[in-house]
Amino acid sequence: MKLSTRFLNFITAIGCFAIAGISIAYFLINEKFEWIPEAALELVREKVLLERPDAKRCSECHKDIYEAWKESRHSISWTSKTYIDASENRTKEKCLACHIPESVTGEKPIPRLELRDEGIYCVSCHFINGKMNGPYDLVAPPHPTYRNPDYVNSKFCGSCHQKTFKEWKSTGVENTCQDCHMPRIKSRLTQKFPLSLLHKKKWVGNHKFLHGDITEKDILIEVEFEENFFNFSLLNKTVPHRVPTADNGDPRLYLYITFLNAAGELVDKNKWIIAPQQDTALLFNKKMAFRYRLFVPVAHANIILKYQPAWSKEKDLIWEKTVHRKIK
Amino acid sequence: MHIIQILSLLIAITTIIGQPVQAKDMVIKEPPKSLDKFYPPQSDQPKWTQQMHKLSTHFGGVFINLKEKDFENVDKHAEKLVEEYKKTSEMVPEWEEYFDIKAAEAFAAAAKTHDIAKAGKASGDLGKTCGKCHAEHQVAVWTKYHWPSFHKIKVIDPSSEKEVYFHKFMKQISGSFKAMRINFGEGQYGRAARALKTFKSEYMELKSTCSKCHTTDDVKRFYVGGDASRAFAGLTKELNAEKPNPGNFWKNVGLVGKTGCKNCHLTHRTYSMIKEVWEEK
Q: What residue segments make up the domains of chain A, in order of their start?
A: 10-43, 45-205, 219-324
CB contact under 8 A, B152 and A88: yes
**Burial code of A134-149, b = ≥16 C-beta within 10 A, e = fewer?**
bbbebbbbbbbbeebe
CB contact under 8 A, B44 and A96: yes
CATH of domain A219-324: 2.60.40.10
CA distance A169 to chain B (A): 18
Q: What is the pLDDT of residue B4?
A: 56
Which whole number is the average pLDDT over A283-309?
95
Q: How far apart are CA A66 and CA A68, in angstroms?
A: 5
Q: How far apart are CA B116 and CA B58, in angstroms?
A: 15
Interface of B with A in 210-269 (CB under 8 A): 211-213, 215, 220, 224, 239-240
Q: What is the pLDDT of residue A245?
A: 96
Q: How far apart are CA A248 and CA B225, in angstroms?
A: 18
Angle in degrees, CA B268, B269, B274, rounded to 5: 105
CB contact under 8 A, A271 and B158: yes
User: What residues contact B176, with CB distance under 8 A and at least 6 apart?
Assistant: B195, B198, B199, B202
Q: What is the pLDDT of residue B1?
A: 47
Q: Give the residue ranges of DSSP H helices in chain A.
A: 3-30, 38-44, 55-59, 63-70, 81-86, 93-99, 122-126, 154-157, 162-171, 177-181
Which residue in chain B is spatially nearest to A112 when comparing CA positions? B44
CB contact under 8 A, B205 and A278: yes
**A275 vs B41, B193, B208: nearest CB:** B208
CA distance A319 to chain B (A): 19
CA distance B208 to chain A (A): 5
DSSP code, position A138:
B
Mutate to test the interface with A, among B146, B209, B211 (most CBs of A within 10 A): B211
Does the CA dihedral A80-A82-A85-A88 come out positive or negative?
negative
* pLDDT tens-digit map of A214-245: 999 999 999 999 989 999 999 999 999 999 99
Cβ atoms of B140 and B21 within 8 Å: the answer is: no
- Between B184 and B214, name the one with better pLDDT: B184
Q: How far apart are CA B241 and CA B192, in angstroms?
A: 12
Contacts of A91 in chain B (CB under 8 A): 40-41
CB contact under 8 A, A280 and B204: yes
CB contact under 8 A, B190 and A229: no
* pLDDT more than 70, % of chain A: 99
CB contact under 8 A, B211 and A111: no
User: Coil, helix or strand for A297?
Assistant: coil
- At residue B187, φ and ψ (nearest 5 deg) are 80, 10
User: What residues contact A71, with CB distance under 8 A and at least 6 apart?
Assistant: A208
CA distance B13 to chain A (A): 31
- DSSP codes, A23-88: HHHHHHHHT-GGGS-HHHHHHH--GGGGS---HHHHHTT-HHHHHHHHTSSGGGTTT-HHHHHHTT
- How much is the mean pLDDT over chain A? 91
Strands (E), A206-315: 219-225, 229-236, 252-260, 266-274, 287-293, 300-308
CA distance B7 to chain A (A): 41
* pLDDT tens-digit map of A66-123: 999 999 999 999 999 999 988 878 878 889 999 999 999 999 999 998 999 999 999 9
Q: How far apart are CA B180 and CA B192, in angstroms?
A: 4
Q: What is the pLDDT of residue A199?
A: 78
For residue A159, give Cα distances in angstroms to A97, A105, A109, B204.
Answer: 10, 7, 7, 28
Is B208 part of the contact surface with chain A (CB cutoff 8 Å)?
A: yes
Does the CA dihedral A310-A311-A312-A313 come out positive or negative?
positive
Which residue in chain B is spatially nearest to A102 when comparing CA positions? B44
Mutate to test the interface with A, among B48, B189, B212, B222 (most CBs of A within 10 A): B212
- How large is the ipTM? 0.74
User: What residues contact A288, with CB distance under 8 A and at least 6 apart?
Assistant: A233, A234, A235, A274, A280, A282
